[in-house]
Chain A
Amino acid sequence: MNNSRGGNILISFQDVSFQYKESDPYVLKNINLEIEQGEWVSIVGHNGSGKSTAAKLMNGLAIATEGEVVVDERAVSEETIYEIRRKLGMVFQNPENQFVGTTVADDVAFGMENLGVERSEMEVRLKQSLEAVRMKGYEDQEPHRLSGGQKQRIAIAGILAMQPEVIVFDEATTMLDPRGKKDLLDTIQELRKERNLTIVTITHDLNEASYSDRVIVLNQGEVHFEGTPRKLLEQHEMLPLIGLEAPFVTELHQQIKKHGLTITHEPLHYKELVDELWKLHLKK
């Protein structure tokens, strides 16, 4: 399936609405969105905006009340969830809750065992996956002795070993300390480059979202904005209204404009801003 831009659509939401119980209000209302193969998309929104529900609908942890979620040309339903979960791996918020094995190696191998991967192939994939997340040498460690960031990377290795098309990170950095956060984001960037994976990150951190190709903002269960991170920051006035905070660089840019200094485009990072200013405005 291709979209109008010619890209290969991997995930689509077609008029999707969702409520947990019939008597409850709708968490998602009439959502339409498309994610292309190889793309990195962030879904952002405040707590309760429906962003985590959107993630759950992608791997069948929740099934759309109305409309259809399609992953790699298969509609997500009770019948297709196992097939879909092979293609779409998910890393959750709490690193403590996603371990089954007593050693790192057991844990990474668990998913492959379920898929019936042959022993020799399993060993190859185990090695490659741990290398990909920079956790080689930790095979015999007990998962509970690792730091939060290391645990999240082991969770990713377990998913990589199943050779998925897409990985969804549902607020996977929220519980990590700054060092763990940075390591995890670096890992995601590397994986994307080396394996041509499709990445979906669910977050409320706009600094984190600025790593992605495209941002989808949800507010009260509806798509409020869709576009590049730069475009989103250009429209920073709306952010506080939907429970989000403009990153520091955007604030600094606004203040700089008040001094009559301008640059060519909305900056994503303070280095970009300072370098541009320096080039354009420094009087020798």
Chain B
Amino acid sequence: MEITFKEVDYTYQPNTPFEHKALKGVSFHIPKGSFTAIIGHTGSGKSTLIQQFNGLLRPTKGTAKIGEFTLSNEKNNQIKELRKKVGMVFQYPEHQLFEETVKKDILFGPKNFGFKMDEVEKKLPKILEDVGLDESLLERSPFELSGGQMRRTAIAGVMLMEPELLVLDEPTAGLDPYGKRQVMELFSHLHQKRDQTTVLVTHDMEDAFKYADQIMVLEDGKVNLIDHPKALYTKKEHLQKLGLDLPEQFHCMDYIERQLGVTFDEPTLSAETIAGLLSNQLKGGDTQ
């Protein structure tokens, strides 16, 4: 699903003393099938922005096109249709589980949106396999599951609706390194095998660099940068000025460049590649 924003403003509580402009003239394009990472610190407007992707919020000014749906200040009566096609995984999705059994919880979304339930149920085993949940858990209470399993349950419910656009709001917050990697690999896998557009909101520059094909930096309610993930290295001074952190590997590469007077051709997260260059330089095999 392609997304095009044109001069979008969003103002909370307009015409009151609490008026707050969270988005200011935001314009950008997210191509169909892309994986875009949205980066910015707390208060930069990230949450406000992604809530427009499924019509939870509508632009105060300007227009937002999500696939064939156009959102503006005017009321749109197709919101329900839009929401069927846009899957949202918020932070701590397991906090939104509430049904008696895992199965009921997974099926709640599709049922609520009026999907044909016999068809949906046929897809269930496949989705469970995709997200890595064992079928034996279906009749258990979601509250008896481990944190990782709860998160997979919440994700299964979203994936069952086969969204054209999947929006992930810091989906790995609070997980340990192992759980984190598993969840990100899952989303990367789903992105590659499905005809889907993915938007990831994250603080984790390593994930942004590793998984995205486009990065967008928000700052003070405006698009500050929209670029290839390599820009996370080439524009590192700029990003650090904004108070954004770089992957540790990039700090290390930068340090090596300054200490040893070498230049890396490409940013990398691989310790192997960095070690190779470092060793080469120390052994004097390279005359840069």
Contacts and interface: CB of A to CB of B under 8 A. Distances in A.
A245 B181 CA distance: 10
A62 B116 CA distance: 47
A261 B275 CA distance: 10
Contacts of A261: 279, 282
A186 interface: no
Interface in A210-249: 240, 243-245, 247-249
B36 to A, nearest CB: 19
B41 A282 contact: no
Interface in A245-265: 245, 247-249, 251-252, 254-256, 258-259, 261
Interface stretch (A32-40, A190-198, A273-281): A273-281
B56 to A, nearest CB: 20
A259 B178 contact: no
Contacts of B175: 47
Contact of B146 (A48, A245, A252): A48
Interface residues of A, number: 41
Contacts of A180: 42
Interface string B166-186: 000000011111110100000
A48 B283 CA distance: 45
A83 interface: no
A283 B284 contact: yes
Contacts of B278: 256, 274, 277
A178 B260 CA distance: 28
11 contacts: A46-B179, A47-B175, A48-B147, A174-B173, A175-B174, A243-B178, A244-B176, A247-B248, A249-B248, A255-B274, A274-B260
Interface of A: 46-48, 93, 147-148, 171, 174-175, 177-180, 182, 204-205, 207, 240, 243-245, 247-249, 251-252, 254-256, 258-259, 261, 270-271, 274-275, 277-278, 281-283
